[in-house]
Amino acid sequence: MKRKHATSAAASDEKEREASPTRKRALLLVKKLVEQAKLRAEELRREMEAGKKVLLDALDAEKENMDKDGNVTPQAFTISVRCVTGLYRGRKFSMEMDMLKMETTGKIFFIDLDSTNGSRINDVELEPHEPFELTPGKPIKVEVGAGELEFMIEPKS
């Protein structure tokens, strides 16, 4: 049986003592990283669940507008309009100044198509081509050039 030298045994004991604090620090660092990873994983799980809920709610909302075969059912709205309009300063008249757009979600938007004199809804100046959501069941005042429209959108029962 071979016998170790006393000097090599002492050197190996010394290395273990030196490596021990370094190893402890490394283990603590690994432990801390694992804890942080677990916290981040839990945070991501919560975010995923919240996103899943948003998507499922949107799907449920869409299902309300679909028949049993999955086709979107049209929704009817009655729009009654009181309109006072006429030629504006430049005596030019355009037929395509604005647009009403209804999405499948049922939301209705008014869009200014870059009209010469601009559009306003309830005294709010609209930006061209920026959809402005209209609220069904509330009176809406639309000003286009010198013309003024007042109407209310109500879902048809």
The pLDDT averaged over each successive group of 10 residues in the chain (157 residues) is 58 64 88 92 90 82 71 58 49 62 81 85 91 88 81 74
Contact 134, 119 (CB under 8 A): no
In what order do the strands lie in the sheet containing 147-155?
A: 77-84, 147-155, 139-144, 119-121, 124-125
**Residues facing 144 on adjacent strands:** 119, 147
90 contact partners, CB below 8 Å, separation of at least 6: 116
C-beta atoms surrounding 69 within 10 Å: 5
129: left (phi over 0), alpha (psi -120 to 50) or beta: left
pLDDT at 9: 61
Q: Which CATH fold topology does 77-155 show?
A: Tumour Suppressor Smad4 (2.60.200)
Cα–Cα dist 114/98, whole Å: 8
- Residue 83 is predicted with a pLDDT of 47
- Per-residue pLDDT, 4: 55
The pLDDT of residue 125: 92
